[in-house]
Structure 1
Amino acid sequence: MNRWLVTIVLLIGSAILNHWIPFSSFFRNLDTMVHEFGHALATLLVSGRVQSISLFANHSGVTYSLITAGWRVVPVSLAGYVTASLFSVYLFYTYSRGRLGQGLLVCSIIAAICLLLFVRNSFGMAWIAGFMVVNAVMMLLPIRWLQKGYYLLVAFVSLEESVVGPIGLTVMALNNPAQAGDATGLQAATGVPAAAWGLAFSIVALLCARSAIGHFLGRRGRRGRSRRAGGSRPGYGGPGQPSVERFRID
């Protein structure tokens, strides 16, 4: 079957199943956390300062940063959706290599960094603490099938959210470009319409989803071949000073 068709079918199936599985909603904030972590990391890379990150119960988030006005706005605004999409690929890549513990450990490390350095609102701190506890329990459990099921739940929820988010952003940019989050910021910085940025994010997300599903199917294919072979297995400075803006980045 065509890889794109398989990707779309699995994404739709994942969206349906994830809304039926109890407690799956809890893990939707993982994509939000990684998204905001991407903004924070990009801010630091362009010599800015991260003031705080907030995560909310409706699976939204916001990063407050201080960066010098100009081109630096672009990479910081781009980083959120791109980081979340690439992270979904990473989760399925580690799954394809059988490194479930490594994938869960990286999730916990990112969560710990966010909790220690960036997240300051009460819900965000409570969610991260709870997520780290659940992750630790699943990493220590010797029940492989349960660990695998948990890992796939986390991976597929993250994958679904990484695709649905940019598509929703594109719809918002078409209907209300002034309220389209990162796409609105990029429009202000570059002059390119917010809808075009939303579409670009969506394309990146779908390409990453195709890659992630490729890793997932590759793992299943290798297992099948192994069995057949018998194996197992904002403010501004004055004249002469740099202009600095305070940004809210969704």
Structure 2
Amino acid sequence: MGNLIKTVLFLGISAFLTHLVPFSDYFRSLDTMIHEFGHALVTLLLSGKVMYIELYANHSGVTYSQVSSRWSLIPISLAGYMIASLFALLLFQLRAAGKERLGLQLMTVVAGLSLILFVRNQTGIIWLLGFLALTIMMLALAPRWLRDVYYLLLAFLTLEESVFGPFSLLLYAWQDATKAGDASNLASVTPVPAIGWALLFTLFSLWCAAQALKAFMRGRKSSVERKSSPAAKFDRTGSGV
């Protein structure tokens, strides 16, 4: 319980501070992109068809798809919030390993695939083009310190949205179970009510956030530590044999 309270307080402070950053609101759609990309990816893995994705200016989004069976709605509906939470956790783990550049490259790949394959509405296309242009510029031209600040801003914004999104879903499910998005979809094919699924998403996002903040508190590996890690791992393996 103590860790949960610390996580919630930290996220609250983080949300307050990131709102003070100019244009930070623009980047909150990154979590939406990951969420909808998660739906699309699992749909394709289950032999479904992704028709298109729409990303909106209010940081919401929707994925239109055709599925092979009613039961495939379960993993597809689970994918959005859970993949978004795991992605936020991954960003902090990459930072702890000193691999911010890899994290930015991963965001670029997902944004590029979303633009080419899925997103079709004007607002979504414009956002993706702007995000891609800025992120590629950061990768190619920005000094290391600026690129790392940009990465950390994206990581915290994604983490915040990955938690606040499920929490908002919980409120929607409480008010009207038929208007709770993915939770409503899951309730339609399972005996668990929408509020139960929304609570699951919220708890999972908080667990991922707690792990992400632990990685953040550990700090970032120095270049010396990163260079020495392969030899250290090899030595341990050798001694174990």
The residue aligned with 1:179 is 179
Shift of 1:142: 4.6
Counterpart check, 1:101 vs 2:101? yes
- Please name the residue that 1:9 is paired with: 9
Once the two structures are overlaid, the 10-residue window that deviates more, 97-106 or 138-147, is 138-147
Q: Are residues 1:159 and 2:170 paired?
A: no
In 2: Cα distance, 1:77 partner to 1:18 partner: 29
Question: What is the letter of the counterpart of residue 188 of structure 1?
Answer: S
Q: Which residue of 2 aligns with 1:136?
A: 136
In the alignment, structure 1 residue 85 sits paired with structure 2 residue 85: yes
Q: Deviations over 1:103-157 (max 9, x none)?
A: 0000000000000000000110110010011101111235222111111100000
1:219-234 matches, cutoff 5 A: 219=219
| TM-fit CA distance, 1:5 | 4.0
Partners of 2:41 and 2:107 in 1: how far apart? 15
Letter of the 2:176 partner, please give it.
Answer: N
Residue 122 of structure 2 corresponds to residue 122 of structure 1: yes
- Give distance in 2, aligned partners of 1:206 and 1:14: 14
Instruction: Name whichever structure is richer in helix by fraction.
Output: 2
Give the 3-state SS of the residue equivalent to 1:71 in structure 2.
helix
User: Residue 195 of structure 1 corresponds to which residue in structure 2?
Assistant: 195
Aligned to 1:47: 47
CA contact (8 A) 1:48 1:66 kept: yes
| Cα distance in structure 1, aligned partners of 2:131 and 2:161 | 17
What secondary structure, in the 3-state scheme, does the structure 2 residue paired with 1:72 have? helix
Letter paired with 1:113: L
Alpha-carbon distance between aligned partners in 1 of 2:127 and 2:188, rounded to the nearest angstrom: 33
> How many residue pairs align between the two structures?
222
Instruction: Decide whether the 8 Å contact of 1:141 with 1:147 is kept in 2.
Output: no
Deviation of 1:69 (Å): 2.8
* Runs of 4+ with >4 A deviation: none
Instruction: Indicate how the Cα distance of structure 1 residues 3 and 192 shifts in structure 2: closer, same or farther if over 3 A, else same.
Output: closer
Q: Residue 18 of structure 1 aligns with which residue?
A: 18
Contact 1:88-1:159 at 8 Å conserved across structures? yes
Find the counterpart in structure 2 of residue 236 from structure 1: none
* SS of residue matched to 1:54: strand
Structure 2 counterpart of 1:210: 210
One-letter code of the match for 2:71?
Answer: W
Give the secondary-structure state (helix, strand or coil) at the position aligned to 1:6.
helix
Unaligned runs of 5+ in 2: 226-241
2:59 alignment partner, SS class = coil
Secondary structure of 2:70's partner? coil
Amino acid at match of 1:150: Y
Aligned counterparts of 1:30 and 1:40: Cα–Cα separation in 2: 15
Q: Give the equivalent residue in structure 2 for 1:232.
A: none
Q: CA RMSD in A?
A: 1.4
Q: Please report the TM-score for the alignment, with normalisation by the length of structure 2.
A: 0.89
Amino acid at match of 1:198: A
For the residue of structure 1 that corresponds to 2:66, the secondary structure is strand
